A and B are shown apart, each in its own frame.
Chain A
Amino acid sequence: MTLIRDAARVCKSKNAGPFELTIDVVFDDASVFQKVKATGVLCPALFARLYNVPEEHVLFTPYDAAFAFKATFPRLVPAGEFGDTDVYGCQQHAPLLDVDLPI
């Protein structure tokens, strides 16, 4: 069992503008990144499930040059709107930390 919290170098969330949230998972080098990519665990369906958002609303991009995966999807409410809990969007990454990567 290899959890993202143990395998990744970066696991973070942030606003991508006031209406979207973007999550990045970055690995140390090409070999770990390629192994993770081959498992297929990091994919739009994972983010759809963890963040309760329709899969077609998840923009998922592996970025080979940075050994990174990025997923972007709508915020629950726009930044600063009534009910927003995280104006900068930077504390929404935790559900990913315990995702198991079979590498």
Chain B
Amino acid sequence: MSTKEIRLLSVSAILGYGFPEASLKAGMARKPDMIGVDGGSVDPGPHYLGAGIPFCSPIAIKRDLRLMLHAAIEAGIPMVIGTCGGAGGNPHLDLVAGMARDIAREDGLSFKMALIRAEQDKAEIKRRIAAGGIHPLAHQPELTDAVVDRATRIVGMMGPEPFIEALDNGAQVVLAGRSSDPAPWAAMCIRAQLPPAPAWYAGKMLECGATPSIPKGHDSLFVTVRDDHMDCEPCNPIRRCTPLSIANHSLHENSSPIHHIEPGGMLDTSDCRFDALSDRAVRISGMKWNPAAQYTVKLEGVELAGYRAICVAGTRDPLLIGRLDHFLESVRAEVATKAAAFGATPDTYRLGFRVYGRDGVMAEREPKRDAEPHEVGFVIEVVSQQSREMAAAVLGVARANMLHTDFPGRLCREGNMAFPFSPSDIDVGPVYRFSVFHVADVADPCELFPIEYEMVR
């Protein structure tokens, strides 16, 4: 048993979501050993990994980063960010690294910075497929060379070990590509000789900032980790951690509430206890860590699925709403004929009608699909495999036919649709889909994650 404790400050749920400056000050006053924030998530979907852009605005990211850098440099403690730029590929990491250099130059800060890369080399992944070292997750098919070749970008999800290496090598600012959300926090605890169970659990709480508190909000959380427990308290006096708010967060985004698979092992929370320390702080204890026989790194990759164009419209006509499925099928048939005439055969595009007010949110899982609404909204959608221009062309036909196609009993002979905007059609651009969701066996947890060091001043 050690008497050591590690004090960790997470400023917000995601870099760029914002946090009150007063919360950062209150957190810093409690003398943390490290500050950090999670930089991203797979939740906003495949687009950001494919397009190489963040899902928060660069303006918002830089505001958060500047405050964090000043706080860390002034206090002489590490500042660590995982999954930089939203998806943790090279363009995402380079965006945030560039901001850190700009801020240092603008504000006269200097520090040693480590960049941990997570984007994967396709030839290396194919070599590992051939060696039998890649396995599918979530009932996905086996990974093939063809899928790897088609991928726009593949990242590996690092555990705590690359962070430990960067910190051990004296980096004060550590910016990483795709990371397991708790990994930066677990790293700080594990390198201080704390056991992995509370280290990982602390990371699970910190990766979402003040989300484990009530009222929920994008704000800061302070966690103190000791040998067999951790204490959680939000920095903002308007928020409280309660046993229920903490327990609720422990369910977040996992398939099982008791078995959390992480690189290198499994966090078992079956016997966790959540005890109130005060009316706004909670102690969590009883977590266990089961090391895995084989260390694995999750791989995430996306491929181009086509080009999307959309149009928003609505109808208030009960005669149309009463025979909507028939109407949409007749529009679909018209579009097939007219689009084929200019070279968009039905196998080259997908046409979707999203019907809000009926089943726009739950699709075929909607139990009340047969309830008749007084108005419905549509998002008309085309994804073309050919080009942006072709997506726009097919959508134009679909929009015109939604407006003008006749139906039995029609009285609204001037038009079927209310369009809220002019222009009515929106070019959304490239669309990506998840294509790689696998794990790679590794001998060394750091082998897929090269680290670059630089002095920033």
Contacts and interface: CB of A to CB of B under 8 A. Distances in A.
B46 A76 contact: no
A28 B247 CA distance: 11
A45 interface: no
B272 A65 contact: yes
6 contacts: A17-B137, A61-B258, A65-B273, A82-B305, A88-B44, A95-B365
Interface stretch (B62-70, B80-88, B174-182, B429-437): B429-437
B251 A24 contact: yes
A86 B251 contact: no
B248 A68 contact: yes
Max count, chain A CB within 10 A of own CB: residue among B45, B257, B271, B361: B257
Contacts, number: 130
B42 interface: yes
A31 interface: no
The 9 residue pairs across chains A and B that have the minimum distance between CB atoms: A66-B247, A80-B45, A63-B257, A72-B255, A19-B138, A16-B255, A80-B46, A87-B45, A24-B251
Interface string A72-83: 101010111111
Contacts of A66: 247-248, 250-251, 257, 272, 274
B409 interface: no
Interface in B216-275: 244, 247-248, 250-258, 269-274
A70 B43 contact: no
B314 interface: no
Contacts of A70: 251, 256-257
Contacts of A63: 247, 250-251, 257-258
A38 to B, nearest CB: 19
B221 to A, nearest CB: 18
Classify chain A: how many residues form its interface, as a range. Answer: 35 or more
A103 interface: no
B139 A65 contact: no
Given A63-B251, A66-B251, A82-B305, A19 B363 contact: no
B255 A65 contact: no
Contacts of B433: 78, 80-82
Given A68-B248, A88-B44, A59 B256 contact: yes
Interface string B400-440: 00000000000000000000000000000001111001000
A28 B248 CA distance: 11
B370 interface: no
Contacts of B251: 22, 24, 26, 63, 66, 68, 70
